[in-house]
Amino acid sequence: MKERLAGFVLMTAVVPMAILGYLILVWVGFFGPNARGRAGVRALDHFVNATVFNGHAWESVSSHAWRVQHKRWAKVIIRITDVFQKNHCQRANKREQPLVDLVLEKGLHRQTIF
């Protein structure tokens, strides 16, 4: 119960900032530096992976799709990204899998509020 309450309080503050962050990301996408836009898109990618695809918060949708490529949604993601960059998901997974393994090995994904 304590974790749910803390999550609710945190989300009450984070959601408005996330909306603002999205609007800033749109602005930066058109007028700002590429590095800032890339960092924002990467963070959004990880957010979508964790919430929509029930993946790890420290992994991209592309890497997750490659890891579970037998699932229907993953096949669609792999097919779409291959149009823009051949073997994109495989490359993303090769780059991110050591981090996923480290976080799981060290137990950094475990509950922190008791």
Report the distance separating Cα 5 and Cα 3, nearest Å: 5
pLDDT at residue 47 in the model? 93
Report if residue 48 sits inside a domain.
yes
* 113 belongs to a structural domain: no
Domain assignment present for 38: yes
Q: What is residue 26's three-state secondary structure?
A: helix
Question: For residue 10, which amino acid is it?
Answer: L
65 in any annotated domain: yes
Domain-located, residue 57: yes
pLDDT value of position 85? 97
Q: Give the C-alpha separation, 3 to 25, whole Å.
A: 30
In a domain, 81, yes or no: yes
Residue 8 lies in a domain: yes
What residues of the chain score a pLDDT lower than 70? none
Residues 37-52: pLDDT tens digits? Answer: 899 999 999 999 999 9
Q: Which domain holds residue 8?
A: 2-106
Question: What pLDDT, on a 0 to 100 scale, did the predictor assign at position 108?
Answer: 86
Beta strand residue intervals within the chain, DSSP E: none
pLDDT score recorded for residue 14: 86
Domain count for the chain, please give it.
1
- pLDDT reported for residue 44: 92
Q: pLDDT at position 52, please?
A: 95
Distances (CA, A) of 106 to 8, 58, 94, 110, 113: 27, 14, 20, 9, 17
- Please report whether residue 114 resides in a domain: no
